[in-house]
Structure formats: structure tokens, C-alpha cells
Chains A and B, each alone.
Chain A
Amino acid sequence: MIRVGFTVNGRSVSVETSPTRTLLDILREDLGLTGTKEGCGKGECGACTVLMDGRAVASCLVIAAGLEGRDVLTVEGLAGDRIGRALQDAFVEAGAVQCGYCIPGFLMAARALLAETPSPSTEEIREGLSGNICRCTGYVKIFDAVNLAARRLAR
């Protein structure tokens, strides 16, 4: 067991855990932040996407041994974030959510995209969300939602 200290949604946390426990499991099971979902568990579906030091990462592929001092943003932190709030509103208005399981991951990937590229082209939106899979429906309304959020944020 090791003890690691890092930041989640602006709050300092310290957990005692196995060094090879994933960030995903720590968030969900130790910290009770169940907004982050597990899909494939090996980095291919994007459901577990969180931001680490501002960059979108698959939290199922980050282990505790590499977490010390990191700054993590999860979907629970989006409501307190300007881009995050705009994305959440736009996803609702554009009807981008069906079953919802993949949506926290999409929101986090979109949050990383808009922070880096405030006015993305359709191609940039597609690339920014290329690591996220939705199995209910298509991606058109999701892309529309990101586009809508970007346009509102630019005003």
C-alpha cells in the first residue's frame, strides 16, 4: 500500500491504496465520485475520461503510483467551471444525451478540447472526441452540442 496526495476538483485528497490501483477505481470507490464511468477498462471507449493537469486521459490507465501531486478534474467538477457549465447546458438543449452512460466522458473530452481550441472546426471536434464511444445513437447531436457550447462561450 502507498499513500498518494493529489487534487480532485480543487480539493486536496490523500488516499492509501495499492500502487497499481487505477485512478478510475480510486475516484469511484474511495472518493465516491461515481460520475466517472467504466466502459471497456482498457482505454478504448472514453467513458472514464477525466482531466489530469488539464489534459484528457483515460482514468482506467492511470495508476496510483503516478498520481502524486496531480490535479484531476472530473465530471462532478464541471458545474463550477465556465466551459463545463456551457457544455452541460448545450448537451441538454441539443438532445445529445440518450442513456447517458458515455456522457461524462464526452463532456470531459469536450472540456479539454474547448479549453485548448475555443472555436473548433467540425474536424477538430471529431478529432477531440475520437476517443469516446456512444453505443445508443450517433454522434451528430453530440457534435452539435459542442459546437453550440463553443459559440455561446465565444459571445
Chain B
Amino acid sequence: MREIETVAARTLDEALDVLARRGDGIRVIAGGTDVIVQELERRKEARALLSIGGIGALRSITEDGGRVRIGALVTHREIERSPVIRRRAPLLREAAFIVGSPQIKNLATIGGNIANASPVADSVPALMALEATITLASRRGERRVPVAEFATGPGRTVRRPDELITEVSFDALPPDSVSFYERLGQRRLLSISKVGVAFRARLRDGRFAGVAVALGAVAPTVIMAPRTAAALEGERYSPEVAGRAARAAEEESRAITDLRSTSDYRNRMAGALLVRGLARVMEGRG
């Protein structure tokens, strides 16, 4: 790779100082799985890099008072293996598992997956269905942004140049919850998602309550699917109910045609994956 000036920060303070001084001219690199490939392919050409991989304080998963907090530098492999995530947010474990190979998951961080703002990111639909919040820190202080409001387009976000993602947090799913992340790719692992569907709801007297559905790879950003959620809210699970919700998901999808799939196929698959996921968690199939 071509030589790029790189500043390695060892503490959050150091990183925020560097960003405050030269935020516009420096790109943050953590695991490197996106940044290095984008640089190699000349899709982005940073003037300088700020390497944050050495900041130990951003590496933990904690659960406190029902709130799960994941440091920005936690890797997908660590999320996949975390007992807290397995118990409190199984859909996020599924998304972290499927994001790539072990060699990628051991490097790629959750903060990086969010910051990259790809519409096909696997962790983001799961985080959106969890109604997760991102913490952005800068020398000016901290602010919190819902994951659903963070990306504004492919690769574009509301992050200001002097800000760093430090954490993503969400309320642990209550014990009566069901959730899943289903996605379709060319290969099961290590392929870019054609469509991803994240779902969570509580089951109250056998009826869905507090339904949230997020769709990946069907719009310029990951999107919430409120009409799909509404089609399930208050209903008992049946294949017919799932089918009605699937049609809503197909209508809410706004997929494009590209080298991986046609728009029509993607829109239909959003519905099909919803049906598949619901069958898996409600009937124990699949």
C-alpha cells in the first residue's frame, strides 16, 4: 500500500486532540478491513490516518441496569462470542457471525461497521432493530445519535470531522423477546449482503408487541420498516400473518439493481427473509 502519514493514538484523549486539530484532513482507521481495501482500490484517498486500534478503553462489552454498551473497538468476533450479546441481543450475535470470515471478524470493529455507513452493513440492521444509540465524543463533549439517524447515504454520516464513535448502546431485550437477523449473500459467510432483515419483538399472550424491523441493502442506507412492523404488531404468528408482513416489507424495500442482484429480486427477498426468520424463531425451523 502507498505510504500514508499515520498517527497512532494510545488513549481517547490523544485521539480527540488529533481530531480537534486536524479532523478534516485525517481519516480514522481501526481494524482496517474497510479503510485499507478502499485505499487499495483508490475509492478513497486519505491525506493522513489516525490509528485508534491501541485505545484499550474502547474494547469492552458491559451490561449495567439493563443497558448493553459495546465499545467502538469491540470486534465482530468478540460480539459473536459474548455471553451478554448471546443472552441480551441474539439478533446482533447472528449479524456479527455472518459478517465475514474469522480473519475479517477478528479485525473488523463494530464502530468501523457503523462509521463506514454502508447500506449493506450487517451489524447495522440488527442495531437499528434494537433501537441502539451511538455515542460520539469530541473535545466539545459527547452527544448521542440513534443508529437510525446516523447514516445519511452510502458512506455519508452525521459525524462531524472532530468526532469519534466511542460506543454503541441499547436496552437488553426482555426475556419474552424473539429476534433474528437473516441475510442473503452469494456465499454464506464472506460475501456482501444482497438483502438483510433484522427483527425483534416481545411476545405477550402469544401476540407480537413492540415490533421493530430493519432492512439492509434495499435503500441508500439501512432503513426501518415501520409498515412491516405494523403488520405484525398485536398479531399471533401464523404463516398467513408472516405473508402479509412480507408483502409490506417488499413494498418498503427500495432496492437498486447492481452486479449482485436486481432490484425486483432484492425487494422480494426482503419479504422472503422475513418469512424465513419468523418461521425459524416461531416454529423452531431452519
Chain A residues within 8 Å of B, Cβ to Cβ: 2, 18-22, 41-44, 46, 49, 52, 55-58, 60-63, 65-66, 68, 109, 112-113, 127-128, 130-132
Cβ of B106 and Cβ of A61 under 8 Å apart? no
Cβ of A68 and Cβ of B2 under 8 Å apart? no
List chain A residues, Cβ under 8 A from B32: 61-63, 66
A48 and B41 CA atoms in complex are apart in Å by 18
B87 at the interface (CB under 8 A from A): no
| A41, A60, A61, A130, most chain B CB atoms within 10 A | A61
Query: 1/0 per residue B1-31: CB within 8 Å of A?
Result: 1111110100000000000000000000101
Q: Nearest A residue to B102 by beta-carbon distance? A: A56
Q: 21 A-B Cβ contacts within 8 A?
A: A19-B49, A19-B51, A20-B1, A20-B2, A20-B6, A21-B3, A41-B40, A42-B37, A42-B41, A43-B103, A55-B106, A56-B102, A56-B106, A65-B8, A65-B29, A65-B49, A130-B190, A131-B101, A131-B103, A131-B189, A132-B101
Please classify the interface of chain A as helix (H, G, I), strand (E, B), loop, or mixed, using the class held by over half of its residues. mixed
List chain B residues, Cβ under 8 A from A131: 100-104, 189-190
List chain A residues, Cβ under 8 A from B53: 66
Nearest Cβ on chain A to B146's Cβ, whole angstroms? 30
List chain A residues, Cβ under 8 A from B51: 19, 63, 65-66
Known: A22-B1, A55-B77, A63-B1. A127 touches B189 (CB 8 A): yes
List chain B residues, Cβ under 8 A from A62: 32, 107
Query: 1/0 per residue B166-191: CB within 8 Å of A?
Result: 00000000000000000000011110
Nearest Cβ on chain A to B75's Cβ, whole angstroms? 9
B36 at the interface (CB under 8 A from A): yes
Q: How many residues from B make CB contacts under 8 Å with A?
A: 32
B33 at the interface (CB under 8 A from A): yes
Chain B residues within 8 Å of A, Cβ to Cβ: 1-6, 8, 29, 31-33, 36-37, 39-41, 49, 51, 53-54, 77, 100-104, 106-107, 187-190
Nearest Cβ on chain A to B27's Cβ, whole angstroms? 11
Known: A20-B3, A20-B6, A68-B54. A109 touches B103 (CB 8 A): yes
Cβ of A68 and Cβ of B8 under 8 Å apart? yes
A38 and B39 CA atoms in complex are apart in Å by 17
A138 and B261 CA atoms in complex are apart in Å by 27
Nearest Cβ on chain A to B4's Cβ, whole angstroms? 5
Cβ of B102 and Cβ of A43 under 8 Å apart? no
Q: Nearest A residue to B6 by beta-carbon distance? A: A19
